[in-house]
Structure 1
Amino acid sequence: MPGVDGCQFARRVRARTDLRGLYLVALTGRPQDSDTLGSAQPGFDRHLAKPVRLAHLTAVLASARAQKPLVSR
């Protein structure tokens, strides 16, 4: 994303009350445990390491939808 990294984006989303219900997934090429813990701090709900199988991503998003309602506008 030009001008902002994923962690900055997550912090901005979490700071907005109208977007707090969004389920944020960090998708990274760095699967180390320290990276997973680092992605939780700015507000990501899940951390997935690339390459991600479509079936796995679909299952994660389906689970998220069951846990958090969609943001109403």
Structure 2
Amino acid sequence: MDINLPGMSGYEAMRKLQEWPETRAIPVIALSAAAMPRDTRRAAEAGFYRYLTKPVRVDELTGRSEELLLVPAAP
């Protein structure tokens, strides 16, 4: 999910996803051009699974996506 979505920030969207039982356990990878350590911390605190910076490296995005496929689903 891009952090700078039009009309709603990725952080706001993540909060909404975490509010609903149906979407609470879905892991979300954040994408942003902001690459400072504070940006990474904020994303972790918001509950994002991983935080990737732009330009996105395809191998990194693929690797993180594969991690998700290997993670057991929440009950």
TM-score tier, shorter chain, comes to: 0.7 to 0.9
Unaligned runs of 5+ in 2: none
Q: Which runs of 4+ in 1 moved over 4 A?
A: none
1:2 aligns with 2:6: yes
Q: Which has the higher contact order (CA 8 A, sep 6+)?
A: 1
Aligned residues: 70
Q: Alignment partner of 1:57: what SS?
A: helix
Unaligned runs of 5+ in 1: none
d(CA) in 1 for partners of 2:54, 2:70: 24
Root mean square deviation, CA, Å? 1.6
Q: What's 1:63 paired with?
A: 67
1:8-30 CA-partner distances (Å, limit 9, x unpaired): 00011011111122111110001
Report the TM-score when normalising by structure 1.
0.84
